[in-house]
Amino acid sequence: MTTSTARTVTANIALTLDGRYNGPGGPTDIAAIVPYATTEVARNHLNRLHENATTAVLGRKNAEGFLEFWPAVAVDDNADPRDRAYAKWLVDTDKVVFSTTLTDSPWERTRIANAPAADVITQLKASGEGEILVNTSPTVTKALLAADLIDRLYLLITPEIVGAGEQLFVDGLPGSQWRLTSQEAGEIGEIAVVYDRKR
């Protein structure tokens, strides 16, 4: 399914060198990601990904973690200005959270979606303005890759191989071509890249 409207759908995620967003210990095993998340390159990357986004899309588990942590950063004068800018954006922007268990949103400016990701994103693309950012939510990103609805990928690649864990790019995805539009390497081996879908 290929849909084209004025709204660009972007997705952000950090991956290990072997393409995993967590390690063998499961969803909370992000030891190969965390040390690289606060580098200069990672913070610059964070700043880029939300600058044109007007809608944040999250899975429920991610929303619970993000919306517990980031609001305090938004008002912390000692936080890195890039972190504060991202946090303020996340608090103030419209959010869609995918959940099969929540019926009402516990967060401001947030609506709950209990429907296939491709259907919800197609509806979002058809109305409103600004980019739609799927924010570090691999389940949603996988569904949208399968439906060919992602226009830009923001990837932070860490220089570690974990050998097991969940992968973003799984067998069965439709073939696609991407154009590298930005890259920045950090001093400890992390690389921030931006790929745009070639259509």
CB atoms within 10 A of CB 135: 27
Which pLDDT tens digit goes with each residue over 106-152?
Answer: 999 999 999 999 999 999 999 889 999 999 999 999 999 999 999 99
**Given pLDDT bands bounded at 50, 70 and 90, which one contains residue 4?**
very low
**CATH classification of 9-170 is 1.20.950.20, yes or no?**
no
Share of the chain above pLDDT 70, in %: 97
**Given pLDDT bands bounded at 50, 70 and 90, which one contains residue 70?**
very high
pTM more than 0.85? yes
**Given pLDDT bands bounded at 50, 70 and 90, which one contains residue 49?**
very high
**∠ CA 156-110-90, rounded to 5°:** 35
Average pLDDT over residues 32-55: 95
